[in-house]
Amino acid sequence: MDIDRANHQAVQRMIEARPMLRSVAIARDVIPGLSGRKLLHAGPPIDWERMSGPLRGAVIGAALFEGWADDDQQARELAATGEIAFEPCHHRGAVGPMAGVTSPSMAVYVVENLTHGNRAYSNLNEGYGKVLRYGAYSSEVLEKLRFMNDEMGPLLSKALEALGGIDVKALLAEALHMGDEGHNRNKAGSLLFLKLLAPAITEVAGDSQLATRVLAFLGDNALSVLNPVMAACKAMADAAHGIEGSTLVTAMARNGTEFGIRVSSLGDRWFTAPAQTPVGLYFTGYSAEDANPDIGDSTITETAGIGAFAMAAAPAIVTFISGKPKDALHATLEMYEISASEHPAFTIPALDFRGTPVGIDLRKVVELGITPRVNTGIAHKEAGIGQVGAGLVRPPMEIFEAALLAFAETIGPEGKPE
Amino acid sequence: MDIDRANHQAVQRMIEARPMLRSVAIARDVIPGLSGRKLLHAGPPIDWERMSGPLRGAVIGAALFEGWADDDQQARELAATGEIAFEPCHHRGAVGPMAGVTSPSMAVYVVENLTHGNRAYSNLNEGYGKVLRYGAYSSEVLEKLRFMNDEMGPLLSKALEALGGIDVKALLAEALHMGDEGHNRNKAGSLLFLKLLAPAITEVAGDSQLATRVLAFLGDNALSVLNPVMAACKAMADAAHGIEGSTLVTAMARNGTEFGIRVSSLGDRWFTAPAQTPVGLYFTGYSAEDANPDIGDSTITETAGIGAFAMAAAPAIVTFISGKPKDALHATLEMYEISASEHPAFTIPALDFRGTPVGIDLRKVVELGITPRVNTGIAHKEAGIGQVGAGLVRPPMEIFEAALLAFAETIGPEGKPE
């Protein structure tokens, strides 16, 4: 079996994918299998018992949002007694930042990969402060979710329809020339997103108050494009999944307790180990003691060749995550070591327009002892509080070793799949 | 006389200026002395005889726009027979990109320097294609000007009023962290401008069709913020003008025939020499043979410490003006050699957040033989055609030598002003 050839095929599919943001829809209407009292969450599979604070908080919030429970205590009981089913977003073509909790009634972005036909989904970004994705579930959190679901979502969907969709790959390519890396820094991408949507929003809104509110909501949130970007990365990564003989990593995700990866040729298996705690900068009043272990599906960005892999494009990010601009440069340079290719669409001006490293090769990670770098937000470890900082983290090496071992077992003595 | 101390005072005033975009008004209502059949133009003083093609084209367009002439021929006659008076924008606190032609009825941005109280003005940016500032004057050019004047201008002014103004210095500081240099590359700045204006526009428009059109117009133009930025730079540079004993350059401007500078301690005098032709990249179908000599007041950006002086912040600009990203880095590094200070508000992530070089010191330019670098658009040399490329240029050294000589003459034998 020619692993290099398989990896080449896989990474080419990832590169050639063309994710187009099509619409906003209600999750249960578009995500297969998301019905009844089921919640999707970030990272590999996990049950209520082992969930960390912020994921529990988001589960409680989603149960309240859905009306399954009247209060926090009732929501906890439902979750603890198996009345709520849990499944990773990744099992349903979805991704969500931080807790990633997506309930059947929630609005989600729908991304279609025009090249290969697969779809991916992500919930809407709530902005800053007390938000569900960081485990907050107070009435203001739920009120904002209702505004997003009932007012903003339908308007965005109509605007996207009027635009014929948004080419997220082109948007990302431009944002990387404007100091974004596409994961923790999405300032430029969010403005490009706003620019594309704004005239369509005013055109279809039929209500200038709503248009004003939505334009302000999107404009005030430098992460507004993160969720469509994540869905786009999921669509790209999924296009590379299922290639026989490939050692390419097609998913990296954390549930706040464990970090998990999936590999192109190893089907639906997760390889997991305890998640590490990010190192970074904390908001005033918080410190590393408050930090939850690494959480969220947003590592799909690094999986698809942006985020920390594109950090050389975003030297200003160090004001947010710590370090010096040269560290941002080095981050990208190091990631070339473990990547199968360089992305022709995502280029870095400061590196003479070299393509970002793309397609993490399990073999290289283990051989060189270099784990992928990840930019991330940091959640408070207790439910209901929210974000406390942002920083850098790496997945545990043992999951790559375990995956490589599993891969080796699929190869017969002749070097062919058994 | 302590020249260093005078320059320190001048550059500190430039740095401490805080330009706030206040409103959009009709030029004759706010620019003192702009009345009757008078036109403001870019660069140092010039008469019709010596005007280059694009400036003549813009003069014709403005005469048609004002209704002073019914056709091209009549406009030329008025201009040639002294029926139209010409004066540099700079003489009236104004600046305009390329031809810079500003007529009494045109809408202009009004910028106020909160620190020192002075005001500056610039016309509205027309976007790409056939535009007055590049000397085009067809009916589509005039139609667009009328839309900008009659519909967009009043709406922008109402929106700015609702916002309480826009802090252009803060906007620029952010844009420099997003790959802009503030002169030829204003992609991020224009998006930040749009983001700030969008909700205010929808709120005050009272007409969703107009709001849609204006949001699309601003969003489609990656130079939409250039003119308020230029007015802001003019307000900053003017704050540094008139300091006795200072050798700081407070204006650099080109009229398409000559390049001129003014110096802080040398009053209203211009030092001029023939303008050079930029070296850069040409649009398909054009070459250096089509290029007009350097034109426009947009060099006010370099005068205030951005533009080519901040090029290290904008490596992606080389796709537009030629060169390699390292050339962009070197441009900024070279400009430190001739600058009086580093700008505390305008910082460059790739240089470890070092401030941009600011305050061109005449003495250093002459002593080191290093002229300021300038990023610029390139106009076709004939009236009515428009932009043919973009590139780099430097002012002629002789104007700095002449200015230094004039400065020396102001100093008595004791080293004190005579």
Burial of residue A363 (CB within 10 Å: 0-12, 13-18, 19+) is middle
Q: Do A178 and B178 touch (CB under 8 A)?
A: yes
Nearest CB to B325 within list A196, A206, A350 = A350
CATH class of A21-230: alpha beta
Could you count the other beta carbons within 10 Å of the beta carbon of residue A208? Answer: 18
Distance from CA of A172 to the nearest CA of B (A): 14
Does B159 contact A at CB distance below 8 Å? no
In chain B, where are the structural domains located?
Answer: 3-230, 242-409
Q: Give the residue among B336, B357, B335, B338 at the shortest CA–CA distance from B346.
A: B357
Contact B213 A206 (CB under 8 A): no
Which residue on chain A is closest to B193 by alpha carbon?
Answer: A191
CA distance A312 to chain B (A): 9
Of A198, A212, A349, the CB nearest to B194: A198
Q: Are B388 and B284 in contact (CB under 8 A)?
A: no
* Minimal CA separation from A215 to chain B, in Å: 5
pLDDT at A1: 63
**Three state DSSP letters for A369-381:** CCCCCEEEEEEEC
User: What predicted TM-score, i.e. pTM, was given to this entire model?
Assistant: 0.96
Please state the CATH superfamily assignment of the domain spanning residues B242-409 in this structure: v583 domain like (3.90.1700.10)
**How many residue contacts between A and B have a Cβ separation below 8 Å?**
102
What confidence tier does B418 reach under pLDDT thresholds 50, 70, 90? very low
Query: Where do the H-state alpha helices sit in A206-304?
Result: 208-219, 226-239, 300-303
- Contact residues, A window 195-234, toward B, CB-based 8 Å cutoff: 195-196, 198-199, 202-203, 205-206, 208, 211-213, 215-216, 219
CA distance B274 to chain A (A): 35
CA-nearest of B149, B133, B132, B126 to B97 is: B133
Specify the DSSP class assigned to residue B102.
B
**Do B10 and B264 touch, CB atoms closer than 8 A?**
yes
The DSSP output letter for B276 is P
Helix (H, G, I), strand (E, B) or coil at B38: strand
* Contact call for A202 and B202, based on CB within 8 A: yes
SS3 sequence of A70-131: CCHHHHHHHHHCCCCEEEEHHHHCEECCCCCCECCCCEEEEEEECCCCCEEEEECCCCCCCC
Which residues in B lie closer than 8 A to residue A350 (C-beta atoms)? 315, 325, 350
Handedness of CA B140, B23, A191, A206 (dihedral sign): negative
* CB proximity B166 to A under 8 Å: no
Amino acid at B280: G
- Interchain contact, A202 vs B203, CB within 8 Å: no
Interchain proximity B191–A196, CB inside 8 Å: no
The pLDDT score that the predictor gives to residue A416 is: 57
* Mean pLDDT of the B241-270 span: 98
Burial of B82 (C-beta count, 10 Å sphere; 0-12/13-18/19+): exposed
What are the phi and psi torsion angles at A111 (to 5°)?
A: -115, 135
Q: Which of A376, A357, A108 is nearest to A227 (CA)?
A: A108
Q: Which letter does DSSP use for residue A214 in this model?
A: H
Determine the distance in angstroms separating the CA of A290 from the nearest CA of chain B, rounded to an integer: 30
Homologous superfamily of domain range B3-230: Enterococcus faecalis V583 domain (3.90.1710.10)
Reading chain A (418 residues) residue by residue, the pLDDT tens digits are: 699 999 999 999 999 999 999 999 999 999 999 999 999 999 999 999 999 999 999 999 999 999 999 999 999 999 999 999 999 999 999 999 999 999 999 999 999 999 999 999 999 999 988 999 999 999 999 999 999 999 999 999 999 999 999 999 999 999 999 999 999 999 999 999 999 999 999 999 988 999 999 999 999 999 999 999 999 999 999 999 999 999 999 999 999 999 999 999 999 999 999 999 999 999 999 999 999 999 999 999 999 999 999 999 999 998 888 889 999 999 999 999 999 999 999 999 999 999 999 999 999 999 999 999 999 999 999 987 888 999 999 999 999 999 999 999 998 665 555 4
Q: What is the b/e burial string over B318-352, where b = at least 16 CB atoms within 10 angstroms of the residue's CB?
A: bebbbbebebbbebbebbbebbbbbbebbbbbbbe
Q: What ipTM was reported for this prediction?
A: 0.94
pLDDT 10s digits, B234-244: 999 999 999 99
- Bridge partners (DSSP) of residue B379 are B387
C-alpha atoms less than 13 angstroms from C-alpha of B412 in its C-beta half-sphere: 5
